[in-house]
Amino acid sequence: MVHIYTTTSSGILEEVEMKKKYPRLPNGYGQIRKLSGKRRNPFGVYPPQTEEDENGRRLPVKALCYVPTWTAAFAVLTAYKAGTYTPGMEADIITAERESGLKSPSSALDAILADYARIRRATLGLPESLTFAEVYDLYFRDKFESGKQYSAALVNSTRAAYKNLTPLHDFSFRGLKTDDLQAVVDACPLKHGSLEMMVLVIKQMYRYALAHDLCDRDYGAHVSVRIPDDDEHGVPFTEEELVTLWNNSDDPTVEMILIMCYAGYRIAAYKTLEVNLEERYFRGGNKTASGKDVVTPIHSAIYPLVARRIARDGAILTMLPNAFRVHMYAALERIDIQKHTPHDCKHTFSALCERYGVNERDRKRMLGHRVGDITNDVYGHRTLEDLRAEIEKIKLSKACQKRE
C-alpha cells in the first residue's frame, strides 16, 4: 500500500492512494470503512459489533468518528481498543499528522504503538508496568519450566545471580537503563565468575522481554564485567584428576574439559576456533595481540574427542562460556573432583608442557604469550610440524589412557 498525503487550499489533509489496499484488522478489533464520494473525512471508525438481534445477527454500530486518513482511523480504533479513546481526540491525531507532514515519526504513531503494547499486556493479563522481579519470574518459568531439562547447577546459579541483583528487583523493568544495570554489577563485591553469571541473566532477561513486548530496547546488551578476571592465577588439574577425567571422557562436558587441558586456549576462544581435522590443528584466540590467530597442533590423545565432538555437535563449543562454566562445575562435582575453572585447563596445558620438556618458546607461542625477545617474537617462525613435534612430547600415563 502506498499513500501520498497532500494539504488542500482549505488546510484539509487528504490521502491519495495507489492500489487501495489496507492491512487486515484482527478479529474483534472493529472496522475502518472508506465511504464513497468526495468527503472531507472519508474514513469511518466503527467499534466491534457485540450485540445481536433475535436471529443471531450482529446489530450495526454507530461510528466513533470520521477522519481524513486510514492511519488516523487506525490510531483512533487502537486507542478505543486500549481504553484510552475519548471523543474528540481524533482532532489531535489529525493535527499531529498534518504538522509532521509524514516526514518524521508522528505522535499519532507513538500513540498507536503505546496503545498496542497496552492491549497486549491486557491480553496477557499483565499489569501496566512490570517490575524487574516480575519479568524475572516470567523469564524463569519460560526457560526452566517449559519442558526442556536443565541441570540443577544451572538452575541454582541462575537463582543465585538473580539474588545478587536484589537492588533492581522493585524497579520498573521498562524504566531501567544500561547505567542502572551496570551500576549494580559494578557495586557487587563478588568474584568475576559470579559477576559473569549476573550479566548473563540480565542479557537473557532482556532477550525474553523484547520478544514479549515487555521493554522498548535491549538495555542489557552493553552491560559487562569491568574488573580483572580473578581466574587468571589458576590451579592445574593433578595427574590423579586427569586420570579421573580420562576415565569419564564419554561425558560431553568432561570431553570438552580434556580438550581444553591439551589445547591451551581460553574458554572464549572455542566459540570461534577454527578446527582443521584433516591437517590436525586449531587456529584462533582473541585475548591479546600475541594471543590472536594462534596455531596449535591437535594432540593425538584428544584428536578422537575433537573429531567426535565436531561430528556430534558441529562445533567445539555450542554454548556460551558462562553456561559451560556451570556445566563444568556440575560435572566435576559428579565425578568427585574439586572445583576447577575453565582457566585452570589452560594452566594444566602449561604445566604439562613444562613436565614433559616442551620447548619454552614453543610453549609460550601455543599459549598465546609473548616469547620475550624481539628476535623470536618477530622472526621466530615455526612450522606446524615443528610445533607438533613439541606438543607430542606430552605423554599420557597408562592410567590416563582411555579403556576400550
pLDDT digits (tens, 9 = 90+) for 41-90: 999 999 988 888 788 788 889 999 999 988 888 888 888 887 888 888 88
d(CA 30, CA 47): 5
What value does the CA radius of gyration of the chain take, rounded to a whole number of Å? Answer: 31
d(CA 267, CA 320): 9
Predicted local distance difference test score (pLDDT) of residue 357: 92
CATH fold of 132-211: DNA polymerase; domain 1 (1.10.150)
CATH code for the part of the protein at 239-391: 1.10.443.10
Predicted local distance difference test score (pLDDT) of residue 54: 82
pLDDT digits (tens, 9 = 90+) for 119-140: 655 655 655 578 999 999 999 9
- Residue 57: phi and psi, rounded to 5, are -90, 140
Average pLDDT over residues 13-21: 45
Quick one: cell of 132? 524487574
Q: Is the pLDDT of residue 278 over 90?
A: yes
Nearest of 388, 379, 191 to residue 282 by alpha carbon? 388
Query: What is the band of 381 on the pLDDT scale with cuts at 50, 70, 90?
Result: low
d(CA 354, CA 352): 5
Percent of the chain clearing pLDDT 70 (strictly above): 78
Q: Which residues pair with 282 in a beta bridge?
A: 275, 296
Going from N- to C-terminal start, the domains of the chain cover 22-124, 132-211, 239-391
Predicted local distance difference test score (pLDDT) of residue 123: 59
Predicted local distance difference test score (pLDDT) of residue 269: 87
pLDDT digits (tens, 9 = 90+) for 287-316: 444 445 788 999 999 999 999 999 999 999
Q: Are 283 and 364 in contact (CB under 8 A)?
A: no
pTM above 0.75, yes or no: no
Q: Render 8-61 in DSSP notation, one character per residue.
A: -TTS-EEEEEES---PPPPTTS-EEEE-SSS-SS-EEEEPPP--B-TTSPBPP-
Nearest of 78, 89, 90, 80 to residue 117 by alpha carbon? 78
